Amino acid sequence: MLYDAHNHLQDERLDPWREQILPMLPQSGLGEMIVNGSSEEDWPAVAELARRHTWIRPAFGLHPWYVKERTQDWDTTLKQHLVSHPRAVVGEIGLDRWIENPDIEAQLECLRTQLALAVELDRPATIHCLRAFGLLEETLRSIPLPRRGFLLHSYGGPAEMIPSFVKLGAYFSLSPYFGHPRKAAQLETFAKVPLDRLLAETDAPDMWPPDELNPHPLHAADGKPLNHPANLKVSYELLAQVRGMGVDELEEIIAKNYDTLFGTSH
């Protein structure tokens, strides 16, 4: 079985195809996927997808791109969603200096608030980080962290920081985008991740694979490429390649890691 540790199946860019995509996914060998909310606006859509499909695990979080748009009661609303969904993950949360005019102090405040919720409710968390890995590490060292750990999705940080993040409880997931030649160095970073901390993701509809590795090409109305959620196998194949192992062997390892971080047997 395949496990997608991170995507955004609720994203409106997938609206024209979602009802065609949904029946395909269990048939493609998918065991479970985690669908991540990014803002108060899309949390209800994530909840509805999880209600309709048992193989969808919801995640609710305020993404750093949307902290400026949060309402006064955002954290109360977030907690309500998490309490209403006992299997839900806290995510997608994090830090991002890549966006234009980032409000880092607001991002830090929201990150700390959401990690505190993860601790309080004993949930794992999914963390996004761009151009802020040093600050993220410093922040994580200074606060209580989820007992079950957290995911650094589409990890783009340096290999040298992996041991430190591992000690803090991190898992690391790879997306199909790492198959692009310009991402070769980052793909090699995953050779340094401990096997018991490896996960796979699509981040659909973003992080699409290069054309030559893309079994499910998809494009938005404006012609921009989109990542099909069925491209999860591409991530497994890339990880198997960089680890020098068979996909079947890797599937067993990732299934165990997924259950350790996200499973309900805790």
Look at residue 264 in the predicted model and tell me its pLDDT. 60
> Any idea which of 135-139, 154-158, 164-168, 262-266 has the lowest mean pLDDT?
262-266
User: Directed axis angle between helix 74-84 and helix 104-121, to 10°?
Assistant: 30
Beta partners for 185?
A: none
The range of the structural domain enclosing residue 106 comes to 2-262
Q: What percent of the chain has pLDDT over 70?
A: 99
255 φ/ψ angles, rounded to the nearest 5 degrees:
-60, -40
Spatial neighbors of 212 by CB under 8 A, at least 6 apart, are none
- The per-residue pLDDT for range 83-121, each reduced to its tens digit, is 999 999 999 999 999 999 999 999 999 999 999 999 999
Beta partners for 93?
A: 127
Q: How confident is the model at residue 266 (pLDDT cuts 50, 70, 90)?
A: very low
Cα–Cα distance for residue pair 198/124, rounded to 1 Å = 15
186 φ/ψ angles, rounded to the nearest 5 degrees:
-70, -35
Cα angle: 31, vertex 121, 154; to 5 degrees: 50
CATH of the domain at 49: 3.20.20.140
Residue found by looking up tokens 């600050």 in the block? 135
Residue found by looking up tokens 């065609």 in the block? 20
Cα–Cα distance for residue pair 124/184, rounded to 1 Å = 29
- Reference 88, options 153, 152, 45, 37; nearest CA is 37
| DSSP codes joined into one string, 116-142 | HHHHHHT--EEEEEES-HHHHHHHHHT
Neighbours of 230 (CB within 10 A): 21
Cα–Cα distance for residue pair 176/179, rounded to 1 Å = 6
Cα–Cα distance for residue pair 156/175, rounded to 1 Å = 11
Q: What percent of the chain has pLDDT over 90?
A: 98
Cα–Cα distance for residue pair 193/137, rounded to 1 Å = 16
- The per-residue pLDDT for range 206-241, each reduced to its tens digit, is 999 999 999 999 999 899 999 999 999 999 999 999
* Tally of structural domains, the chain: 1
Look at residue 3 in the predicted model and tell me its pLDDT. 98
Mean residue pLDDT of the chain comes to 97
